[in-house]
Amino acid sequence: MATRKRESQDQDARVIVHDEDGQFHLTNGLISYIMKVDGEGKLLNLYFGQAVADRESFAHLIELQHRPTATCRIEGDMTYSLEHLRQEYPEYGTGDYRQPAISVRQENGSTLTDLQYLDYETIEGKPELEGLPATRAGEDEATTLRIILRDGLTGLKVALNYTIFDGSPILARSARIINEGNQHLVVERAMSLSLDMPDSDYDMTIFSGAWARERHPHTHHLHEGIQEISSLRNASGHFLNPTAILSRPGTNETMGETMGIGFVYSGNFDLHAEVDTYRVTRIQTGINDANFAWRLAPGQDFQTPEALVSCTTGGYQAMSQAFHAMVRDHLIRSPWNKRARPVLINNWEATYFDFNEDRLVSIASKAKEAGIELFVLDDGWFGSRNGDTAGLGDWIPNKERLPRGLTGLAKRINDMGMKFGLWFEPETVNKDSDLYRAHPDWAIHTPDRHMNHGRNEFLLDFSNPDVVENIYRQMHHILSTANISYIKWDMNRFVSEGFDTTRGPQSQGEFHHRYILGVYDLLQRLLDAFPDLLIEGCASGGGRFDMGMLYYTPQIWCSDDTDAVERMKIQYGTSFFYPPSAMGAHVSIVPNHQTGRVTPIRTRGNVALFGTFGYELDLGTLSEEDMEEVHRQVAFYKEHRQVLATGSFYRLRAPYGNHRCAWMVVSEDRRTVIIGDYTILLEPNGPYTSLKLQGLDPQADYRITCTGPSTIQGLTLRGDELMRVGMVDSDAASGEMGGVNPLGSTKDFDSRLFVLQAD
């Protein structure tokens, strides 16, 4: 990638630099991000928001006024205090009393630094972050501004990277910490993003939950102090997703200014908003600094993961559209970013550990009849894995269950005209396994301490390259000997007793990050060897649903909860940052294995269609009528999967605490629209309702078809009417079980699909 210095004042450039004034303006007509070096050499943020025209100087946006209790930098000058300034990469200990972006311990024990502006360069496109997932962009798509700060006393350098993309309101940021001095340094904190906004009038929305209840949105108004979400599980976790929204009060789906923050990382994270005494809001995200300490010998450097931040004005919807496009166009790898995903059947809920080759083939052949394209063999195919107490770590086919091995099974599946996929849990080991018996020290443990387990499993020490190499070889061998198109990459443990057994006492603070780097390394090596392989991420359901994993795994299993109603809530919440093409979603059996709820197969299908569609049951157990519905669903998905995978997704009616839920997808050319309209609990004789559609061509005529009772079935309506007046979707038949209503009757958990087609 060409690297060159560009001192551009061109209004069309993505990076406008006023060299004499030390002013940097990143803009693309959608957003502006303006920084300036002040008289003390500090890099300040002047503005982040909707695009503004450039001007020679924005220096008037710096407020330097005397405050009574300020800690001032210049003797005799009461106005210059770091406490008041909006710094780009603040430090602790020199008058700024908020959370620092960086903290580096020196040989004398001090963590004080004084980072001063040194230099900058602009790079067309976007350099990769070595060993880390990050958005990708070519020279014609983005420009990266790199600003170098330096601490004169220690020789510590910080390279701040800012990438601005054409046509996107999202900015990508990361930092590289470089030791150019001659002493040993320890990085104890290095945020990927630190951004001071001038006021605090924001609502903060976070996405929290638990196993089987992942990523429900929760909103609260910011108040003074720190409002933080984080993970110390060494996985992003089920509890708090590494994403958040700051929006102006009153923001709804279609109106209001929002900032979306997403962290492209899968381990311990921290994301917080700190409102200070003057109601300035400092937003930071990065690797969680608890238990973090990264040694830097002279000449070494440390790269932080990437963070993304957006600014949009069209409500939550506009922010989601921007993140969906970023994930689809710049994060998910080719060819799967644009490629429709195969309809799959997974045997987990159908068999759990109780299967043999014939049982699997019978499940697959029934699925093949329905048009399903990929058979996925889940947990239990390897080693001595007859339950969850043994076998993890031994990635060798279990001959009792699979007498012809995976090669034989894959061939039988392939011969039917289906692709074959396989489950792995590469990061874990059971004590009852040959791998553990040979290398007990490879299971994460702290010497002489008790080891906790989860579901009888222990994590392998992925900070140790020998461990990664062993698992790589085992997986590579399996993938080379059977025709495998897809793998499901599961992980059902969170780190405990984290300890680096190979690098010694000084390295313990590096362990958790090194573990994640090991996971990324294995993923990358497998993808280098098998570039077409589709990997679906998974972690006990949706316990590692993050942008870091999406870089390698184009889809992630959303949740172990396959109940249609719970799935509406999970997929709705997930959709704020992630597109449907990233969300693994399956139709399963009823009563549902997680909730015991009985929902119609139509609704289970109508929810799963808005994800990477698949089944997780033995279709042979279904009634003829339900099987016909499965045939219809698969045919519908195949007809519309390009739209479902690459179209724009809009939320229309939130399921939380409501009787109903709705969402829609619009094709790129705006000719095809698919709306999922769900009744949760029926409201007898319910209100008149309509849905204001979005993203349509206002002048196009859309012909409406509906898979259930509807008063607008067969009508042709114009885009402007559908968006401004709305599309009537009253559940008029509700409450008349006696069959009086000519439209029929609706029940709890009913659903309909509307398809709107313009010529």
First to last CA, the chain: 43
Q: Which is nearer to ligand DGJ, 593 or 718 (CB)?
A: 593
55-59 long-range Cβ contacts below 8 angstroms, 24+ apart? 56/18, 56/21, 57/18, 57/21, 57/23, 58/23, 58/25, 58/34, 59/21, 59/23
- In angstroms, the CA 454 to CA 452 distance is 7
Does position 731 bind ligand DGJ by CB under 6 A? no
Catalytic member of 196, 378, 560, 729: 560
- In angstroms, the CA 26 to CA 413 distance is 53
- In angstroms, the CA 221 to CA 538 distance is 32
Residues 267 and 192: beta-carbon distance below 8 Å:
no
Q: Which is nearer to ligand DGJ, 218 or 455 (CB)?
A: 455
- In angstroms, the CA 120 to CA 161 distance is 10
Q: Residue 759 in 3-state DSSP?
A: coil
Closest distance to ligand DGJ from the beta carbon of 235 (Å): 13
Write out the binding residues for ligand DGJ, residues 552-571 only, by CB under 6 A: 557, 560
Q: Which is nearer to ligand DGJ, 202 or 382 (CB)?
A: 382
Closest distance to ligand DGJ from the beta carbon of 694 (Å): 33
Closest distance to ligand DGJ from the beta carbon of 352 (Å): 8
Closest distance to ligand DGJ from the beta carbon of 168 (Å): 32
Catalytic member of 96, 276, 461, 490: 490
Scanning 110-118, 284-292, 536-544, 698-706 for contacts with ligand DGJ by CB under 6 A, the matching segment is 536-544
Q: Which is nearer to ligand DGJ, 214 or 750 (CB)?
A: 214
Q: Which is nearer to ligand DGJ, 431 or 692 (CB)?
A: 431
Closest distance to ligand DGJ from the beta carbon of 593 (Å): 11
Each residue 475-494 as x (binds ligand DGJ by CB under 6 A) or -, in order, gives ---------------x-x--
Tokens 């924001």 -> residue: 202
Residues 412 and 418: beta-carbon distance below 8 Å:
no
Q: Which of 298, 348, 347, 6 is nearest to 146 (CA)?
A: 6
Q: Which is nearer to ligand DGJ, 320 or 492 (CB)?
A: 492
Contact residue for ligand DGJ among 535, 538, 644, 682 (CB under 6 A):
538
430: its two tokens = 């059971």
Give the nearest residue (CB) to ligand DGJ. 379
- In angstroms, the CA 79 to CA 358 distance is 80
Contact residue for ligand DGJ among 192, 540, 599, 746 (CB under 6 A):
540
Does position 181 bind ligand DGJ by CB under 6 A? no
For residue 510, what is the DSSP state? G
Write out the binding residues for ligand DGJ, residues 377-436 only, by CB under 6 A: 378-379, 423
Number of residues that bind ligand DGJ (CB under 6 A): 11
Q: Residue 85 is which amino acid?
A: L
- In angstroms, the CA 291 to CA 699 distance is 58
Does position 614 bind ligand DGJ by CB under 6 A? no
Each residue 339-378 as x (binds ligand DGJ by CB under 6 A) or -, in order, gives ---------x-----------------------------x
490 is catalytic: yes
Peptide bond into 687 cis (omega under 30): no
Specify which residues 105 forms β-bridges with: 186
- In angstroms, the CA 320 to CA 260 distance is 8
Sites of contact with ligand DGJ (CB under 6 A)? 348, 378-379, 423, 490, 492, 538, 540-541, 557, 560
Catalytic residue IDs: 490, 560
